[in-house]
A and B are shown apart, each in its own frame.
Chain A
Amino acid sequence: MHASLTAGLGLKPEHFDAALLCRAPGLWFEVHPENYLVDGGPRLRWLEAVRGSHAVSLHGVSLSLAGDEAPDAAHLQRFAALIKRIEPALVSEHLAWSAWGGQHYPDLLPFPRTTDALQRIVANIERTQAALGRSIAIENPSHYLHIEQHAWDEIDFLTELTRRTGCTLLLDVNNVHVSASNLGFSAEAYLDRFPASAVAEIHLAGHTPDPTLGGAMLIDSHDAPVAPVVWALYQRLVERIGVRPTLIERDGNVPAFEEILAERNLAAAVLQQGDATAEQVAA
C-alpha cells in the first residue's frame, strides 16, 4: 500500500503543463498505458517528466482479462517495458473483456460470472502478473445488462480472484452506484460487503443518464463532476475501510486543471478526515 498517495487525478494531455507544476501534497496521476505504448517520441517524455515529480499509476483498459483467450503477449511485453521505464506506484486493469478473435472493441464488456470464467480469468491474471513482474489491482465494472448466466456474486468472484492470484482490487465507487441503480441492488450493501483488506485504490467519476433510456439507465460517462450521491458513498466507504489512494477520473467535458484539482482536493479532505478518525480509534 502506498501510504503517501492521497488523492490523484486522471492526467489529460491538455493539463500536462499545469500538472507538472502542481505541488499539492500527496497528489499523483493516473494514465492509460495504451496511450504510451510507443517506440519513442514526445508522449514518453511527457510521462517521464510527470513521473519525475509525481507518483504515477498505470490503469490499463485493454488487456481483456475476462476474454476466453490469453492476453496479447506482444501487448504484455510492451506494457512490461513501460512499467520498467516509469516505475508506477500502482498498476490496474478491469474485470471485463475488450478483445476477441484478433479484433478490439474499445469498451469494457460484460461476461457471465461462471466457474469456467473464473478459471480463465485467474489464468489470465496470473499470466499478466508474471509478465509484468508485479501484482495488479482489478476494477469492478459498470453494469447495464441483466445476465441470467451469472453463477457467482460479483464480490465473491472478485474475492476469489484475490485469493487465487494475489491480485488486489480497485474499487470504483461510481461504478457501484451506476450498477446498483441500473440493476436494482443496494450500493450501500455492496460497499459494506466489499473486502476492505484487498482494496488498493479507489476510483471516483461522474455519470449521466442515458440520452435515450433516461434516468432509469445511468451511464458511467466520466464526463461530469462526481455526483453528491457518489461522494456520500465514498465517505461511508472511507469511514469503514480507512484511507486508500483515490482517483478522480474525468475523460469528457474536461474542465480547467484548477477545477478538476478542486474536486480532487475534496477527496483529499475526505481522506484526511478518515486518517484522523483512524488515529483516534488507534489512540
Chain B
Amino acid sequence: MNIAASSLGEFQQAFATALFDDGAQDASPIASLLRQPAFAIYRNTVRKACIDALEANYPAVARLVGSEWFRAAAAAHVAVTPPHDARLMHYGAGFAHFLAGFEPAASLTYLPDVARLDRFWTEAHIAADAEVLDGSALASLPPEQLGTRVLIPHPAARWAWFEEAPIHTIWRNNREADGDTGDLAWHAEGSLLTRPQDSVCWCELDRAELAFLDACAAGHPLADAAAAALSVQTDVDLSRLIAKLLRAGAFAGLR
C-alpha cells in the first residue's frame, strides 16, 4: 500500500466513489480509511443530505407515498444521480423522469406528474423578479392595437396540461395543509403556478387558457393567442380568460 504516492485528486476520486459504493476496496488509495468504522459517517451524511433535499423539494410526492417509501425511492435516485449543483434547492431536476421508470412506482401512474408540479413550485419560488402586468395596461390600449401586441409570460409562471389524470387537484390536495382528501373526479386538467408577490400561487387551467398561454410563450400576438384559445373551445369568453390570467400574475409585460 503506497498511500503517500497518491495525489489529492486520486484521493478524492477514491473517496467520492466509496461514498456510494459500500463494497470492500482493499486496492483503493484510501483502503486504510475504508477499514475505519467512521467512514460510514461520511456515507450516511452525504446520502442523508441528498435524500433530505429531495424530500424538501418534493413535498407533495412525499405526502402521497409516505416518508418511508419516499426516502427509499429517493435513495435509489441519489445513488444514480447525485447533485450537480451546490444549491440543493435545484437538486432533483430529473426526479419526475426517474419516478416514471421506477418499477415500484409503476402502479402510481400519476406520481411523475405530481413531481413535475413540485418542481414547478421550486422554479417559481426562485425565478427572477419582474413586475406583474396588471389589467390597466391592456385597458389603456386602443382596441385596434390590442391584437398585434404580445403578452410576455412572467419569469415565475409555469403551466402544464395533464391529459390522463386530475394532477393539479391531486398535487394541490397534497401541497396545501388542509388539502381535500375526498373523492376525485377523474378528468384531464391544466395547472398554472405563478408568483404575483412573494408567495407561489396556483390555479387550475382549462384547455383554452392553456392554449392561450402556450401561444403567448411562443411569442404570438394577442389575436393569434385568442384564435388558439377559440380553436380548442369555440364558446370561450376571451375577456374573462385574459382577466383570470392577469389576476393570477401570469404576465410580466406587453410588447
Contact = CB atoms under 8 A, between A and B. Distances in A.
Of A38, A72, A148, most B-chain CB atoms within 10 Å:
A38
Contacts of A41: 125-127, 129, 156, 195, 198
Interface residues of A, number: 48
Contact of B87 (A37, A45, A99, A114): A37
Contacts of A120: 8
B69 interface: no
B182 interface: no
Contacts of A72: 86
A217 B82 CA distance: 27
Nearest to B34: A145
B8 A144 contact: no
B102 interface: no
Contacts of A61: 86
Chain B interface size, under 10 / 10 to 19 / 20 to 34 / 35 or more: 35 or more
B162 interface: no
Interface string B80-112: 001111111100000000000000000000000
Nearest to B125: A41
SS class of chain B's interface: helix, strand, loop or mixed? helix
Of B7, B83, B85, B125, most A-chain CB atoms within 10 Å:
B85
A217 B41 CA distance: 10
Interface in B1-57: 3-4, 6-9, 11-13, 15-16, 19, 32-33, 36-42, 45-46, 49-50, 53
Nearest to B5: A149
Of A75, A117, A144, most B-chain CB atoms within 10 Å:
A144
B16 A101 contact: yes
A111 interface: yes
B39 A40 contact: no
Interface stretch (A83-91, A102-110, A156-164, A235-243): A102-110
Interface in B130-189: 130, 155-156
A100 B18 CA distance: 13
Contacts of B89: 35, 38
Nearest to B1: A148
Contacts of B46: 105-107
B199 interface: yes
Given A39-B127, A40-B128, A34 B37 contact: no
B185 to A, nearest CB: 33
A42 B3 contact: no
B13 A101 contact: yes
Contacts of B11: 68, 111-112, 149
23 contacts: A41-B129, A42-B199, A45-B198, A62-B86, A67-B12, A68-B7, A68-B9, A72-B86, A100-B13, A100-B16, A103-B16, A104-B86, A105-B46, A109-B42, A111-B8, A111-B12, A112-B8, A144-B42, A146-B36, A210-B38, A212-B40, A217-B38, A219-B41
Given A38-B89, A41-B125, A68-B11, 12 more contacts: A40-B127, A66-B8, A100-B15, A103-B16, A103-B84, A105-B16, A105-B46, A107-B42, A112-B3, A147-B33, A149-B11, A217-B37
Interface of B: 3-4, 6-9, 11-13, 15-16, 19, 32-33, 36-42, 45-46, 49-50, 53, 82-89, 125-130, 155-156, 195, 198-199
CB-based closest 5 A-B pairs: A62-B86, A40-B129, A106-B49, A68-B9, A42-B198
